[in-house]
Chain A
């Protein structure tokens, strides 16, 4: 299947999970990454079960925060 990751079209095995995509994309410090699929934010508790479909658009966003 073809999915778009961070604006780039890529070919992946059908129905891979978000967790598998994070692993394949070698996302660093995934505990600080927010994932959106088709503009829907995915709860990190669902990374292992949420499956991706052909045509999905995925974004990885690093948490941006801090304090004084």
Chain B
């Protein structure tokens, strides 16, 4: 699947991830699934990692609820989530895979491991918990 995110939303995500270091940062993504098959992220939600560590993230359920309601009010569809890896590459860890319970979601991972060279990738993860299948999605950062 091809997925797009605007430069401004990607920058908001990056700024939040940098400000949350050394902890992992996290949030949700929302937008539309276009008729041409492209998934378009229109809004990134910057939410609280209630684990407050550099090893795990759990999205604050109350903020999650507020975000879902905001999406609905603005005609946006929940498309998945994003989180940062402050010290490790932009790929799903074993725990990321185990907890990727929504097979329709896109999972964005922003690596800050290489100082000054952040790496953002999107993944589709589905299948049984003990044998998840991971596919990298074609992520494009657009000007608008």
For B85, the chain A residues whose CB sits under 8 A away are: 68
B 81-108 binary contact with A (CB < 8 Å = 1; else 0)? 1010111100011011001111000000
- Interface size bracket, A side: 10 to 19
How many interface contacts (CB-CB < 8 Å) are there between A and B? 64
For B88, the chain A residues whose CB sits under 8 A away are: 68
Measured CB to CB, the residues of B under 8 A from A are 24, 26, 28, 51, 54-59, 61-62, 64-65, 68-69, 72, 81, 83, 85-88, 92-93, 95-96, 99-102
- 13 A-B pairs with CB atoms under 8 Å apart are A7-B69, A32-B99, A34-B61, A41-B61, A59-B68, A61-B68, A63-B58, A64-B59, A65-B59, A67-B96, A68-B56, A68-B88, A68-B93
